[in-house]
Structure 1
Amino acid sequence: TFGNDFVRDVDEEFLGRETIVAEATHVLVDPSCSGSGLVVGTAEPEPQEYDGEDDPDVELLADEQVEIVLQAMSLPKAAVVAYSTCSVYVQENEGVVKRVLEANPDWDCVPCLKKWSHRGVPGKTGEYTDFCHKVCRASYEKDQTNGFFCARFEKKTAPGENVEDEDKLSKAEKKRRKKDRKRRAASVEPTEATHEKSKSEEMPSKDDNKLSEQEKKQQKKEKKKRRRETIHASSPEEDTCHKEKKRQRRKEKKKHKREILDMVIQEAESSTITSQKRPKKDKKDKKDKKDK
Structure 2
Amino acid sequence: MIDKLQFFLALAREQHFGRAAEECGITQPTLSAAIRQLENELGVMLVNRGSRFQGLTPEGQRVLEWARRIVGDARTMKEEMRAVKTGLSGHVRISAIPTALSIIPRITAPFQQKHPDVTFSIQSATSLQVMNQLENLETDLGITYLGNEPLGRVVTVPLIEESYYLVVSRDQPIASRKSIGWGETSELPLCLLTPDMQNRRIIDRHLADAGASVRPKLESNSMIVLFTHILTGRWASIMPLDAARSFGFADRVAIIPLIDPEAHHSVGLIALEREPNTPLVSALLNAARNLWHKDGV
- TM class by smaller structure: under 0.3
Higher strand share: 2
Higher helix share: 1
Radius of gyration: which is bigger?
1
TM-score normalised per structure 2: 0.21
- Structure with the larger RCO, 1 or 2 (CA within 8 Å, 6+ apart): 2
